[in-house]
Amino acid sequence: MKTKTIIPLLCVLASSGLSAQTADDVKLNMPIIQTKYTADPAPMVHNDTVFLYTTHDEDDAEGFKMKDWLLYTSTDMVNWQDRGAVASLKDFEWYKGDNGAWAECVVTRNGKWYMYCPIHGHGIGVLVADSPYGPFKDPIGKPLVWQKEHWYDIDPSVFIDDDGQAYMYWGNPKIYMVKLNEDMISYSGGIVEMPHIEDYQEGPWFYKRGSHYYLAFASTCCPEGIGYAMSDSPTGPWEHKGHIMDHTVRTRGNHPGIIDYKGKSYCFGLNYDIFRLQTSRHAERRSVSAAEMTYNADGTIQELPYFHDCTLNQIGTFDPYRHVEAETIAWGYGLKTTPKNEWAADRWNQLVTDIDNGEYIMVRGVDFANGASSFSISASCHLYGGKVEIRLDAPDGECIGSVDIINTKTQLKTFTTNVKAVSGVHDLYLVFRGCKKQQNNLFMIDSWEFTRK
């Protein structure tokens, strides 16, 4: 995944059908995660926070190479904090393989969090945790469902209805459904094969809004879009209504996740837009995007254009006068995140690593209010070091301060600098600079914060 940083708009002009002349006038809605390859978004809302669970394509994947499930959180829909891998294939002792961690779904009930995990060719397992951050553990020691006569048991979607009845839909190319018991780790009755829905391929996302039930899905491959059907009952019959996002050659596959959050509705999906910043060839290295979506008065959904042309506005502003984990990023192409537990005891936090000269972390919509007086950053450098420039609104925007990062021999230390007076709301760019002796792999960043003047 590692390349030199390039302004993202210019990198995707060809695939977008845009010309260089329009580069200054068009802003594309790019994938929300850039430091890892993510797919199969499973968003949920809890305590005013979006918890986005994803699958994880390995950096060297050609076909599907997937070993764990990741978590990202946000309270404004544009700045996302990497929470690391919250579960992996190793959590299922009955599975002896090292690949196949496919599209998950997470729901909460009675103070527990349940993660439904398909393991390709081995059914759908279930994990449970006391926290949305995990750790997740296998409560039954076997697949929850596994129809061994085929490999259709993928892409579970679980929803708990108003009357307390929980349902799980899944399947490619057929659609299956079971009624889950209140314990969420067993089901009553048999597996029901549902009638085929027009254009259905895989990745069902089952939910209810108002009096309408919805089944969004990846539409027939290839290329896939995002289709949907509606029903007046959680068990159908389902009526195909069209597309949330039409089939497009700009993405080979898709997998929807849909939520309402702070008065708006959002559709998550996947594409290859980050990988295509490097190359036009195909490999299974996908990225999650999100877009605002709109319902009509009758409950139908207004069709979206491709993600590049969609809207994803920030909700509120970002408070810089607190301890901010550096892995909280709106845009950080070229960077990586590494589990902090390799360096410290906190297993949930991540370090920003693999930093090359000129790369940057961008945080959107930072509200400096009446102004800041100083900036502190926790970092580590094991060679020649470099500096972090604090810039506003662009990678080459106004520089309000800089801080030198010296050799710490991998030990995290805090570095502080005064900053120029600045007020109001700005996009914040932490731009990394190396010395002549070191241009690549400069240092590791743990966290940062501003102090009010």
C-alpha to C-alpha distance for 424 and 430, rounded to whole angstroms: 18
- pLDDT of residue 334 exceeding 70, the answer is yes
N- to C-terminal Cα distance for the chain?
Answer: 40
Q: What is the pLDDT of residues 122-163, one digit of tens each?
A: 999 999 999 999 999 999 999 999 999 999 999 999 999 999
> CA angle 356-358-361, nearest 5°?
85
Please give the average per-residue pLDDT across 363-386, as a whole number: 94
Token pair for residue 194?
A: 């549902």
- pTM (global) more than 0.75: yes
- pLDDT of residue 267 exceeding 90, the answer is yes
Lowest mean pLDDT among 247-251, 355-359, 393-397: 247-251
Q: What is the pLDDT confidence band of residue 347, given thresholds at 50, 70 and 90?
A: low
* pLDDT, position 188: 96
* pLDDT, position 346: 57
CATH label, 324-452, candidates 3.10.110.10, 3.40.50.300, 3.90.1150.10, 2.60.120.260? 2.60.120.260
Q: What is the pLDDT confidence band of residue 385, given thresholds at 50, 70 and 90?
A: confident
Q: What is the pLDDT confidence band of residue 253, given thresholds at 50, 70 and 90?
A: confident
* The domain made up of 8-309 is a member of CATH 3.40.50.300: no
Cis peptide bond upstream of 139, omega within 30 = no
φ, ψ of residue 4 to 5 degrees: the values are -65, 150
* pLDDT, position 8: 43
The residues spanned by each domain of the chain are: 8-309, 324-452
| Topology match between the domains 8-309 and 324-452 | no
Please give the average per-residue pLDDT across 419-443, as a whole number: 92
Find out whether 330 and 29 touch, Cβ atoms under 8 Å.
no
Q: What is the pLDDT confidence band of residue 303, given thresholds at 50, 70 and 90?
A: very high
C-alpha to C-alpha distance for 230 and 171, rounded to whole angstroms: 18
* pLDDT, position 342: 54
Token pair for residue 421?
A: 């007076």
- pLDDT of residue 2 exceeding 50, the answer is no
Cis peptide bond upstream of 143, omega within 30 = no
- The bridge status of strand 372-380 relative to strand 386-392 is unpaired
Token pair for residue 127?
A: 């994990």
Q: What is the pLDDT of residues 22-59, one digit of tens each?
A: 333 347 999 999 999 999 999 999 999 999 999 999 99
3-state secondary structure string, the chain?
Answer: CCCCCCCHHHHCHHHHCCCHHHCCCCCCCCCCCCCCEEEEEEEEEECCEEEEEEEEECCCCCCCCCCEEEEEEECCCCCEEEEEEEEEHHHCCCCCCCCCECCCEEEEECCEEEEEEEECCCCEEEEEECCCCCCCECCCCCCCECCCCCCCCCCCEEEECCCCCEEEEECCCCEEEEEECCCCCCEEEEEEEECCCCCEEEEEEEEEECCEEEEEEEECCCCCCEEEEEECCCCCCCEEEEEEECCCCCCCCCCCEEEEECCEEEEEEEECCCHHHCCCCCCCCCEEEEEEECECCCCCECCECCHHHCCCCCCCCECCCCCEECCEECECCCCEEEEHHHCCCCCCCEEEECCCCCCEEEEEEEECCCCEEEEEEEEECCCCCEEEEEEECCCCCEEEEEEEECCCCCCCEEEEEECCCCCCEEEEEEEEEEECCECCCCCEEEEEEEEEC
C-alpha to C-alpha distance for 355 and 334, rounded to whole angstroms: 8
Q: What is the pLDDT confidence band of residue 202, given thresholds at 50, 70 and 90?
A: very high
Quote the percentage of the chain above a pLDDT of 70. Answer: 92
pLDDT, mean over the chain? 92
Please give the average per-residue pLDDT across 95-102, as a whole number: 97
* pLDDT, position 358: 95
